[in-house]
């Protein structure tokens, strides 16, 4: 394709005007790659802006005159929650409602079957041509249901020119739906197919196309697209279940010894996990009486999830918090309204959500601060997917991720996969991991037998990403560095350079009223003296829930 730089810049200016935010460098690079090929997959971490990239792709196709009035773009989202988020994102980024917008964006709830069938019939096969470019958001399940209930066939979808598959690894979890999507992608009039995922699987690469662009989470953290730091407490759980060996039933006999501890909901394990979670949260933020960090617990099965909720309420109450039952939520497929529970948790500023089938329900909360892994993860790809839930940049400036780091409490040894994370994110596992293997990691188990056992938690090791580092020019410099974190920008300097560097940064960020200072051991008093003597408009003090020194603008 000819020089794409002018088109990409035009798209960038359009999105900046519509939303107030330009494309980041990774999105620009990814857009360049996907415009050069009609079909393929973009692999980017959760929270790095794949939906926004999809909107940029649509604008670019329009500016290149590859699509026009009457053409249809189908955007598939396998999760109902994300479908709604995408709809809201597209209405803003595609200027829906503006007289000058070339796009019409619409969606329908998959639960409204009769309306959904009528909606799809009208837009895709029977109705008059749209006066604009139709961008229609639906789930793969709805497409499958429509084809079964209406008696329609895919060869009538002649208006569809572009297919975008969000969470493309999820598309191939069911053979019937996977076949419908595969057949849809083969229709001659479909000219562009884009798959989006943090972890593509073999079926996606084989049916959608090769990986055109990859971004690692470490690079995204370095670029400021994701949180700047991740801290992991990692240990292993050992559960002995004497009762299991006394049963003669064939089902019990078939369970392998190495897996037996995870074939049951273990009451004592749920209790021990609740104690460990509350202890670690208290260690990180001080008193839980002021605030319980927003925490997602990924449990092994529905019964253990319910027990975890029960024990977490008890443990938080033991810490002196009033009404702890209002701070702990559980959401899984056996609950009546799991989506409503998730939305309630997301709307709050604190609390713990226990879930099992996280991927089926859908969970994306930028203000999530802590992820607890309370079940075994069997593939590095599954670990990357679950890990990504806590790496989004927060909206709340007082969030633990904003002031310090994202936190993972790994109770099952899953963090052993950290050494494989970048290989997964750069596509090296895309042809080796099957969709069903990833599904098992992300959905957990359902209703399993509940049993008693003896539980032991191993020693914790702490993993920091990126690793804690200091300037290394001389031995003196190793022990005398200062890091200034101001308006999400980090600047490291020597203590001798600190007054001048801080003066420069305060002029640059003139509207900021708070910033953080990290430093080498032994420098606290010297830094406080420098601020007091040289920056009279600012007050420094230590907060228990934050590293280093917090500095606030003095109020007149």
Residue 244: per-residue pLDDT: 63
Instruction: Reply yes or no on whether the pLDDT at 1 is more than 80.
Output: no
DSSP string, 244-301: GGG---HHHHTS-GGGGGGSSEEHHHHHHHHHHHHHHHHHHHS-TTT-PPPEEEEESB
Of 185, 215, 245, the residue at which a domain comes to its end is 215
Q: Do 77 and 124 reside in the same domain of the chain?
A: yes
- Give the mean model confidence (pLDDT) for residues 350-357: 92
DSSP string, 303-363: HHHHHHHHHHHHHHHHTT-S-GGGTEEEESTTSS-HHHHHHHHHHSSS-EEEES-HHHH--
Q: Do 383 and 333 reside in the same domain of the chain?
A: yes
- Domain total for the chain? 3
Q: Do 299 and 426 reside in the same domain of the chain?
A: yes
The span from the CA of 103 to the CA of 534, in Å, is: 55
Q: Do 365 and 401 reside in the same domain of the chain?
A: yes
Residue 129: per-residue pLDDT: 64
Nearest CA-CA partner of 359 in 90, 128, 126, 167: 167
Q: Can you tell me which residue has the tokens 């007149």?
A: 556
Q: Do 458 and 483 reside in the same domain of the chain?
A: no
Bridge partners, 240 (sequence order)? 454
Q: How distant, in Å, are the alpha carbons of 29, 132, 138, 438, 454 from that of 74? A: 23, 14, 7, 25, 52
Specify if 220 maps to a domain.
no
Bridge partners, 211 (sequence order)? 41
Specify if 222 maps to a domain.
no
Q: Among 243-247, 287-291, 354-358, name the one with the lowest average pLDDT.
A: 243-247
Q: Do 457 and 491 reside in the same domain of the chain?
A: no
Of 190, 215, 240, the residue at which a domain comes to its end is 215
Specify if 58 maps to a domain.
yes
Q: Do 108 and 150 reside in the same domain of the chain?
A: yes
- Count of CA atoms in the C-beta half-sphere (13 A) of 413: 8
Specify if 398 maps to a domain.
yes
Q: Do 397 and 417 reside in the same domain of the chain?
A: yes
- 345: how many CB neighbours lie within 10 A of its CB? 25
Task: Identify each DSSP E strand in 377-420 by its residue range.
Answer: 406-410
Q: Do 449 and 317 reside in the same domain of the chain?
A: yes
The model's pLDDT over 2-25, given as tens digits with 9 standing for 90+, comes to 688 999 999 999 999 998 889 999
Q: Do 114 and 198 reside in the same domain of the chain?
A: yes
- The verdict on pTM exceeding 0.95 is no
Q: What is the CATH number of the domain that holds 246?
A: 3.40.50.300
The span from the CA of 15 to the CA of 94, in Å, is: 8
Of 215, 250, 275, the residue at which a domain comes to its end is 215
Specify if 416 maps to a domain.
yes
The span from the CA of 83 to the CA of 198, in Å, is: 17
Specify if 514 maps to a domain.
yes
The model's pLDDT over 87-132, given as tens digits with 9 standing for 90+, comes to 888 988 998 877 789 998 988 766 666 777 777 777 776 556 667 8
Q: Do 128 and 248 reside in the same domain of the chain?
A: no
Q: Are 517 and 551 in contact (CB under 8 A)?
A: yes
Q: Are 21 and 13 in contact (CB under 8 A)?
A: no
The model's pLDDT over 375-390, given as tens digits with 9 standing for 90+, comes to 999 889 889 989 999 9
Coil/strand/helix, residue 37: coil
Specify if 194 maps to a domain.
yes
Where in the sequence is the domain holding 335, given as residue range(s)?
230-465
Q: Do 166 and 265 reside in the same domain of the chain?
A: no
The model's pLDDT over 260-284, given as tens digits with 9 standing for 90+, comes to 788 889 999 999 999 999 999 998 8
């Amino acid at each position: 394709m000819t020089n794409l730089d002018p088109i990409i810049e035009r798209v960038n200016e359009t999105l900046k005007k519509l939303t107030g935010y330009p494309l980041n460098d990774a999105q620009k690079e990814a857009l360049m790659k996907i415009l050069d090929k009609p079909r393929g997959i973009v692999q980017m971490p959760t929270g790095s802006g794949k939906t926004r990239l999809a909107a940029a792709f649509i604008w670019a196709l329009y500016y290149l005159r590859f699509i026009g009035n009457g053409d249809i773009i189908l955007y598939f989202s396998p999760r109902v929650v994300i479908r709604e988020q995408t709809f809201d994102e597209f209405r803003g980024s595609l200027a829906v409602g503006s007289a000058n917008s070339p796009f019409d964006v619409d969606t329908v709830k998959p639960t409204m079957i009769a309306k959904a069938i009528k909606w799809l019939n009208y837009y895709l096969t029977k109705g008059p041509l749209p006066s604009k470019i139709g961008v229609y958001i639906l789930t793969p399940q709805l497409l499958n249901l429509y084809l079964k209930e209406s008696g329609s066939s895919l060869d009538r979808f002649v208006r569809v020119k572009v297919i975008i598959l969000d969470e493309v690894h999820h598309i191939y979890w069911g053979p019937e739906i996977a076949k419908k999507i595969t057949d849809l992608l083969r229709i001659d009039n479909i000219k562009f197919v884009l798959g989006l995922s943090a972890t593509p699987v073999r079926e996606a690469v084989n049916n959608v196309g090769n990986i055109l662009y990859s971004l690692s989470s470490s690079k995204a953290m370095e670029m400021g697209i994701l949180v700047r730091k991740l801290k992991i407490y990692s240990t292993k759980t050992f559960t002995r279940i004497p009762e299991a060996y006394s049963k003669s039933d064939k089902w019990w006999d078939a369970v392998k010894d190495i897996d037996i501890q995870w074939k049951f909901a273990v009451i004592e394990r749920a209790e021990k996990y609740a104690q460990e979670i509350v202890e670690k949260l208290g260690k990180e933020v001080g008193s839980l009486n002021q605030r319980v960090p927003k925490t997602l617990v990924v449990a092994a099965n529905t019964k253990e999830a319910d027990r975890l909720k029960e024990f977490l309420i008890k443990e938080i109450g033991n810490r002196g918090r009033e009404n702890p039952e209002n701070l702990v939520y559980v959401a899984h497929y056996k609950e009546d309204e799991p989506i409503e529970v998730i939305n309630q948790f997301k709307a709050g500023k604190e609390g713990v959500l226990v879930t099992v089938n996280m991927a089926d329900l859908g969970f994306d909360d930028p203000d999530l601060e802590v992820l607890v892994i309370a079940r075994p993860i069997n593939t590095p790809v599954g670990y990357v997917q679950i890990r990504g839930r806590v790496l989004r940049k927060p909206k709340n400036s007082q969030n633990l991720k904003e002031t310090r780091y994202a936190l993972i409490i790994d109770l099952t040894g899953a963090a052993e996969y950290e050494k494989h994370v970048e290989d997964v994110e750069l596509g090296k596992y895309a042809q080796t991991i099957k969709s069903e293997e990833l599904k098992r990691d992300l959905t957990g188990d359902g209703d399993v037998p509940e049993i008693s056992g003896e539980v032991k938690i191993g020693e914790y090791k702490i993993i920091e990403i990126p690793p804690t580092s200091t300037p290394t020019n001389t031995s003196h410099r190793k022990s005398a560095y200062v890091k200034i974190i101001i308006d999400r920008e980090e600047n490291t300097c020597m203590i001798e350079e600190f007054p001048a560097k801080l003066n420069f940064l305060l002029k640059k960020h003139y509207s900021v009223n708070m910033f953080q200072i990290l430093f080498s051991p032994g420098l606290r008093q010297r830094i406080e003296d420098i601020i007091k003597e040289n920056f009279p408009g600012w007050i420094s003090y230590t907060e228990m829930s934050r590293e280093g020194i917090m500095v606030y603008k003095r109020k007149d």
